[in-house]
Structures are given as C-alpha cells and as structure tokens.
Amino acid sequence: MATASAAGWGVVYTIAPSPSTRGLIWAGTDDGRIQLTRDHGAHWTDVTPPDLTPWSKVSIIDASRLDAGTAYAAIDRHRLDDVGPWIERTHDFGKHWTRITAGFPKGAYARSVRADPVRKGLLYAGTELGVYVSFDDGDHWQSLQLNLPVVPVHDLVVHDTDLVVATHGRSFWVLDDISPLRELRADIAAGGAHLYAPATAVRVRRSENRDTPLPPEEPHGDNAPAGAIVDYWLPASPGAVALEIVNAKGHVVRRFASDAPPPAPAPSFFMNEWLPRPVLLPANAGHNRFVWDLRYPAPPVHTPDYDISAIAGHGTVATPEGPLVPPGTYTLRLTAAGRTLTQTLHVVQDPRVHVGAAVLADQLHLSLTIWNAIADAHALEQRVSGLRSALEAVPAGTLDAAGSAARAALDKALGQLDAAGIGDAMGGVATVAGTADRAPTAQAREAFATWQAKLSTARARFDALVRTDLAALNARLTSRGGQAVQPPAVKEARVTVE
C-alpha cells in the first residue's frame, strides 16, 4: 500500500474496499485515524472525524454497496475507559461525519458495524453486549438479541439472506433469513395481518446422520432449518390461522392450520427427547415464523417408523415422509384475521445435486402414486377394523348358534386381510423411493407393484366378504329382529399425482 498523505499513522487495523466504486478504499487504524483513497492506494486523504480523539481504535469500517460516498465506522474506546457506544457515519466520502448512537445502552461499545447490501439504511452493529439493528441509517438503534447470549460480537457479515456474527467466547451464530428486516415498515405493525415476501428456498434434505444421535447433554450447534422460512405478522387476537402452499398447476400441496390438533405419537421405544416434534402453525400476536419442510404431507399409515437420523432437541423423523416438492414457483396463501394474503415462493435445487428435472418429476410421480396406495391401504384397514368392531358390538341374543359361528368366521376372515401390514410395507417402499435425488430404482418399482397387487387382492376379498358373508349374517340378524351391520364410511385421503 502507498504511503499515506498524513504523518503519524499507527498500525492499519481495518481496510474496507468500496463495492460500489472501483479504486475506493477506506482504512482505519488502532490510534484513531481514518483515511481514504480513490485511486487504488496511490494517494490517501485523512478523513478522520473531528471528534475522534487519539488512540480510539477504528475497529471496523464498512463501505456501502448502495452509495459510493457512504461508509460507517465502529469505534472501540474501552481501553481508554470509555465504554460508551461510538459509531460514525458519512455520506460524502468522509468530508462530514455524524455520530450515530441513539438507542444503545451504556456499556455497549461498538465492535463492528455493517450495512445491509439490499435495503438502504438498514444497519447492524456488533457490540460488547450483543447485536443491534437500525432501520433509519443509524439515527435510532434497537436490540436484535433474540436468543443470542449477552456476549461481545467482534464482527458480523450479511451472507445472502442470513446475518452471521462472530462472538468472543460463544462461537459463531447465524440469524436465518433477515428478509423480514429488509421489508419491515412501521405501518406493518400498525396494520392487520401481513405476509412477508419469503427468501428463495433451497431444496436440501435435513440431517442425514445415520449414526447413533448425539446425547442431549453433548454441546452441539443447530443447522439452518431445511425448508422454506415463512414470516408473517398478526394483530392481537387473530383467531385461527391457515397456510396453504399451492404449486404452479394450482394444486394445494400442503396445508397447515393453527387449530389443527397435533398428531399423537405412536408407541415407541425411544425416549421423548428423540420423538418427532409436532409441526404447529403459530398464531401469536406480533411476528411469527414457520418453516415448511418443502414436503407433501406424510401418507397415513397404521404404524409409522422412526428414523435413526435424529437431532437432540429436534426429534427424529417419522417415516414414511411426504415426498419433497420439485424446484419451481409456489404460492404461499395465508388466511388470518379475516384476510387472505399471498406471496410467491421460489424453490431451487440443492447446488450440490446434479440431476435433471425429468428425473425428479419421475421420482415425484412414483412417490405420489405410492402415497395414494398407502392411503388406500389405510382406508381399507379402517373399514376392516370398523366392521370388526361393529360385529363385536352385536347384542347378545340376536344370533343363534349358527349365526354366532358365521360372525366368528367372518371376523377371522377380516383379520387375515392385514391391510395395515400392506400399508406399512408400502411405506417402507416410499422411503426407499424418495431417500435421495435420483431416478427410482427398478427394485423399488417391483416392490411397489408386488404390494399394490396384494392390496388389490385384499380389497377384492373385503368386497366379496361384504357381498356374501356379511349379507348372509345380516339376513340372520334381521330375521331375528336385529339390526343389520354395515361397513363404516371412511373418508379417503388423496394427493394429486403430478
């Protein structure tokens, strides 16, 4: 670097090339000087703020990506026994500076400052007491602490739609998806329900750790949520809230509701720490965040299985899962507080995965076909169990000995259909077919065809038992003044096969 134009420099502490103007570089030192070059370092100009006293450490300078003359400097003076906040702002290449500290508490001396690369005037500050945010170019600051421990934040960076902070002693932390901060306005909080424009979602799979999960007491970090992050604002007492995800063909691929009862976990040998966490759509007054896992709903099965790829505190996965949606454009439709709001969501492929759209479409088609077959098996199992319960409830005395024998024979025949086992087996095939981004294997197709044939046989057998054996039994019942037994009506779940 060329010699500075002003004498007396200490060690250069921070250098910030301006991303908006080529050749423009800001430099700050640990003895309280700020200098600027606009010709790649050939010549330097001392632009130190006049109120900046000697031996103030210029901890970070951040040059705006949106305005060439704008820069922000975080000043650290705690070694001078000054623990007050100090951040400087310029909009004219350092000719004039403004100190911007309103809203910081005492002791929150500045370690770093960064300007958002998308929204002009949105700033983030790392201080000795955590992270702060400003929506008005630093005129006012407020805490952005959330669940971050009170810890010195020595640096931070905006990476796409995430805010990454480097703490002193508490590791790296990431605030996932700051899109709402870029959109936030005063009128949103003052108005009714609001659905924020979501960030692009990357089609990644959640943890695929197949080893024994970490014990809960072992320190570990959390991965970013796998899926689409949906943020929305609700007024006080919003009532029930519903969220639908609609694909480009207009089909609803998933629906969530705040008043939907959480599914009861199936019996398991796992401790509660490892059981799946219920997916509940929040409906709290104020800001709400929900993560859609980019999947269709799970198919209904008699007994879900539990994957070993668990994360402590988050629970394992109940399988079979619903298939992942393909990359594409989707519509978020939020119904809340008497309004229906929509936003466009873009889902893109995992950049590490290199398969064609036709492969993913083929996989989805098979997975959804299996989904409907599993639902058919589940519906048949409900009909069978419902009919067996109805047979058991026939009042004593309405059947003679021959009728009782016929009822027992029918009950035994129904029990041999094993629709639940067929559905569980097809659930295993669904897991295999959708376990990776690849074309379905021939073995998966053959296995599904085998169990699909078994299901067809079981369904035909059930229909035959109803037409013949149940009809004969009902004739005996009605001849003795009893009521005929009818198979229960069952609502069948379906998905649209794309």
| Structural domain total, the chain | 3
Last residue of one domain, picked from the residues 354, 382, 416: 354
pLDDT number for residue 266 = 62
Question: What is the arithmetic mean of pLDDT over 85-95?
Answer: 97
Domain shared by 327 and 185, yes or no: yes
Instruction: Specify the CATH number for the domain of residue 228.
Output: 2.60.40.1930
pLDDT digits (tens, 9 = 90+) for 344-360: 999 999 999 999 999 99
pTM value is 0.89
Q: Which of 497, 206, 244 is nearest to 371 (CA)?
A: 497
Domain shared by 327 and 378, yes or no: no
pLDDT number for residue 170 = 85
Examine residue 488 and state whether it is found in any structural domain, yes or no: no
Domain shared by 22 and 166, yes or no: yes
Domain shared by 214 and 333, yes or no: yes
CA distance 197 to 193: 13
Q: Which of 304, 13, 9 is nearest to 155 (CA)?
A: 13
Question: What is the arithmetic mean of pLDDT over 80-104?
Answer: 96
Checking if the pLDDT of 152 tops 70, the result is yes
Examine residue 414 and state whether it is found in any structural domain, yes or no: yes
Domain shared by 225 and 366, yes or no: no
Question: What range does the domain containing 149 cover?
Answer: 1-175
Examine residue 484 and state whether it is found in any structural domain, yes or no: no
> Strand, coil or helix: what is 443?
helix
Domain shared by 141 and 261, yes or no: no
> Strand, coil or helix: what is 76?
strand
Examine residue 124 and state whether it is found in any structural domain, yes or no: yes
Domain shared by 419 and 439, yes or no: yes
Instruction: Specify the CATH number for the domain of residue 57.
Output: 2.130.10.10
Last residue of one domain, picked from the residues 116, 147, 175: 175
- Which runs of E-coded beta strand occur in 180-298? 194-195, 201-203, 228-234, 242-246, 252-257, 286-292
Domain shared by 290 and 181, yes or no: yes
pLDDT digits (tens, 9 = 90+) for 405-458: 999 999 999 999 999 999 999 999 999 999 899 999 999 999 999 999 999 999
pLDDT digits (tens, 9 = 90+) for 157-202: 999 999 999 999 888 999 999 999 999 998 888 888 999 999 999 9
Examine residue 496 and state whether it is found in any structural domain, yes or no: no
pLDDT digits (tens, 9 = 90+) for 357-410: 999 999 999 999 999 999 999 999 999 999 999 999 999 888 899 989 999 999
CB 290 within 8 A of CB 233: no
Examine residue 203 and state whether it is found in any structural domain, yes or no: yes
Examine residue 112 and state whether it is found in any structural domain, yes or no: yes
Domain shared by 348 and 368, yes or no: no
Examine residue 462 and state whether it is found in any structural domain, yes or no: yes
Domain shared by 105 and 233, yes or no: no
Checking if the pLDDT of 49 tops 60, the result is yes
Beta bridge partners of 186: none
Last residue of one domain, picked from the residues 175, 194, 221: 175
Scored b (16 or more CB within 10 A) or e, 97-117 reads beebbebbeeebbbbbbbbbb
Question: What is the arithmetic mean of pLDDT over 33-59?
Answer: 93
Beta bridge partners of 257: 242
Domain shared by 8 and 154, yes or no: yes
Domain shared by 341 and 367, yes or no: no
The residue among 103 and 220 whose pLDDT is bigger is: 103
